[in-house]
Amino acid sequence: MGFMDILENIVLFSGGLLVLFFGLVTIAVAVLESSIIVTIIGLVIIVFSLGFINQEPEITN
In a domain, residue 59? The reply is no
Q: Is 13 in contact with 53 (CB distance < 8 Å)?
A: yes
Domain that holds residue 48: 3-53
Domain count, the chain: 1
- The whole-number average pLDDT for the span 30-52 is 77
- The whole-number average pLDDT for the span 2-15 is 73
Q: What is the pLDDT of residue 59?
A: 59
Stretch among 23-27, 38-42, 43-47, 54-58 having the lowest mean pLDDT: 54-58
Q: How confident is the model at residue 33 (pLDDT cuts 50, 70, 90)?
A: confident
Model confidence pLDDT, tens digit, residues 49-58: 776 656 665 6
Can you tell me the distance from the alpha carbon of 54 to that of 13, in angstroms, rounded to the nearest whole number? 8
In a domain, residue 61? The reply is no
In a domain, residue 28? The reply is yes
In a domain, residue 39? The reply is yes
**What's the predicted TM-score (pTM) here?**
0.47
